[in-house]
Amino acid sequence: MPRRRPAHVPSARWRDLVPDPITAEHWREALVFMASVVESYGEVYAPVLEEVERRYEAALRAERPRDRARRILETYTRAGDPKAIR
């Protein structure tokens, strides 16, 4: 009779269970959300907003230069301005 896998061991590989790293874009979305929470529910949530803002700024600094350049160019062209590089 084959041995059964213990219940506490996941069936998928652990790498499949670990999410991708949180990007600066994720932190920006969280920052906007927390700003709306502070606006709606009060300053009691301000420490969370400050922490998310700190992590967003750190993620921007940690971003690879090429990714940062791509993000800047996407924002520039999405705003309706002409392309920076032709």
Q: Average pLDDT for consecutive 10-residue bins of the chain (86 residues)? A: 59 63 90 97 97 94 82 74 56
Show the DSSP H helices in 5-45 as ranges: 14-17, 24-41
pLDDT for 40 equals: 97
Q: Which are the contacts of 17, defined by CB distance < 8 A and separation ≥ 6?
A: 10
pLDDT for 75 equals: 79
pLDDT for 22 equals: 84
Residue 36's identity, in one-letter code, is: S
pLDDT for 12 equals: 60
pLDDT for 36 equals: 97
pTM (predicted TM-score): 0.56
Show the DSSP H helices in the chain as ranges: 14-17, 24-41, 46-62, 65-78
